[in-house]
Amino acid sequence: MLTSEQSIVEYKAGRAVPDRLRQKTHRHYLDYAEKILSVYRNGIGRQRRRLHQQIEAVFADEPDCPVRRIQAFCKLLDDGSAFQADPSGEAGKLRLEVFSQAARFHPLVEQPDRLFEHEEKGVKSQLADKLAAPWDQIEQALYADVMAYQKLERFAGCPDPAALLSRYNVAQLQACLYKAESMTVTATDDLKTIVRYAKLARLLHEIVRLGPSKYRIVFSGPASVLRGTRRYGVNFAKFLPALLACKGWKMTALVKTPWNQPAKLVLCDKDGFTSHLPPPDEFDSALEESFAKKFGPERNGWQLIREGEILYDHQKTFSPDFTFRHKTGTQVFLEIVGFWTPEYLAYKRQTLQQFAHHKILIALPEKSIREGATPGENILTYKTALKIKPLMETLERTRTENTTT
């Protein structure tokens, strides 16, 4: 990600507008992107500072390229690179040795005279003999622990210039979020994925159900939990690529401006930003995919919805694999257990107990049932695939019970 110093944001009419390279106005940047990618692809063995100087040279004649944009490109290219490091501190040891040996000759001059008699070239030659290495090699190793002098070892980079420009646009969005005080996401699709990545980003959140398969997820920010630090804003930034990979959402973030007035950053899945993360798989397993195809989108008045609801209890969330919604209004959830361990089953049992006030069916492999045990009414068993007939019988029994109560 970028640093705050590389962030470019305009504030217009209460809105935060991060810098964005658009195809209509910045098409020529594709050529620049190809050139700067080539600098790094062909730059193995070159120092970081030299690579950055080459990037600056590429944009030297471009009037529409502020310094921060150039610095942002350098940072993104560096993030896709591996540079030589000095974990054992050899450079520091070498500097101590060289400077200690050279101290008695101080000051060094190019042309010695009666007052300053120690010639720089000659002293360096003496030090090289003493250290048993050419001076050029010593000089290159002296600052190997300083970032600017580190040499490029590998460059993974981006697959093409368009991908680099896309990553730049997303990185500017992320940098804008460093100063976010709160974030609200309204979601209708990929609910489970959004909540899962929010947890991975360690975002405190509250979930409000707005309607069938529609939720508002409110994320707290540093203003409320970590006043005076940007660390939580960085968590917002880390969460953004995962959100961009999903569909069916709208996000509004309140961002603190340099004038301490909040501005809104508004995004949705239709805005054309591309995440470097792959879109979430529609199904977690072949078992779930096979079942969904077999059941179909609707059967006997029951509509099948993939991960259509989020069940929420305090900071505990549970998104069942499927939601069955009958035209009469009855709603039943289904969780399918594929791979399992005793510990996993115990965890699932605890989760189901916490959400026992909901109508939840759980499908278990027959081999996970203890010998002689009788599965409960909400348990469906299967060998290799979940059968439709017993499922429909359970759904209808639940609907009938719901109608009579």
Show contacts of 366-371: CB within 8 Å, 24+ apart: 368/337, 368/340
**Quick check: is 9 in a domain?**
yes
Same domain, residue pair 75 and 187: yes
pLDDT value of residue 314: 64
Query: Secondary structure of the chain in the HEC alphabet?
Result: CCCHHHCCEEEECCEEEECCCCCCCCCCHHHHHHHHHHHHHCCCCCEHHHHHHHHHHHCCCCCCCCHHHHHHHHHHHHHCEEECCCCCCHHHHHHHHHHHHHHCCCCCECCCCCCCCCEHHHHHHHHHHHHCCCHHHHHHHCCCCCHHHCEEEEECCCCCHHHHHHHHHHHHHHHHHHHEEEEEEEECCCHHHHHHHHHHCCCCEEEEEEECCEEEEEEECHHHHCCCCCHHHHHHHHHHHHHHCCCCEEEEEEEECCCCCEEEEEEECCCCCCCCCCCCCCCCCHHHHHHHHHHCCEECCEEEEECCCCEEECCEEECCCEEEEECCCCEEEEEECCCCCHHHHHHHHHHHHHCCCCCEEEEEEHHHCCCCCCCCCCEEEECCCCCHHHHHHHHHHHHHHHHHC
Same domain, residue pair 180 and 245: yes
Using one digit for the tens of pLDDT, what is the confidence trace for 244-257?
A: 999 999 999 999 99
Boundary-marking domain end, from 144, 166, 186: 144
| Full residue range of the structural domain in which residue 125 is found | 90-144
Same domain, residue pair 300 and 201: no
Same domain, residue pair 261 and 203: yes
Same domain, residue pair 252 and 396: no
Same domain, residue pair 295 and 393: yes
pLDDT value of residue 116: 84
CATH number at residue 303: 3.40.1350
pLDDT value of residue 340: 67
pLDDT value of residue 71: 97
Type of residue found at 246: C
* pTM greater than 0.85: no
Query: CA 148, 154, 155 angle in degrees (round to 5)?
Result: 90
Same domain, residue pair 69 and 211: yes
Same domain, residue pair 262 and 373: no
Residues contacting 4, CB < 8 A, separation 6+ = 175, 178, 230
Boundary-marking domain end, from 215, 233, 268: 268
In order of 133, 139, 141, 142, 182, the CA distances from 136 in angstroms are: 8, 5, 9, 10, 53
pLDDT value of residue 273: 96
Same domain, residue pair 70 and 170: yes
Boundary-marking domain end, from 216, 237, 268: 268
Using one digit for the tens of pLDDT, what is the confidence trace for 4-30?
A: 999 999 999 999 999 999 999 999 999
The alpha carbon of 298 is separated from its chain's Cα centroid by a whole number of angstroms, namely: 36
**Quick check: is 152 in a domain?**
no
Per-residue pLDDT of the chain (405 residues; tens, 9 = 90+): 999 999 999 999 999 999 999 999 999 999 999 999 999 999 999 999 999 999 999 999 999 999 999 999 999 999 999 998 887 888 889 889 999 988 988 888 888 887 888 888 888 898 999 899 998 888 888 888 889 999 999 999 888 999 999 999 999 999 999 989 889 999 988 887 888 888 778 787 778 888 877 889 888 654 444 444 456 788 899 999 999 999 999 999 999 998 888 999 999 999 999 998 877 666 777 888 899 999 999 999 999 988 767 787 766 778 888 999 999 989 999 988 876 677 777 777 788 788 888 888 988 888 887 776 667 778 888 888 889 999 999 999 988 887 765
**Quick check: is 41 in a domain?**
yes
**Quick check: is 276 in a domain?**
no
Backbone angles phi, psi at 54, to 5 degrees: -70, -40
Please give the tally of structural domains in the chain. Answer: 3
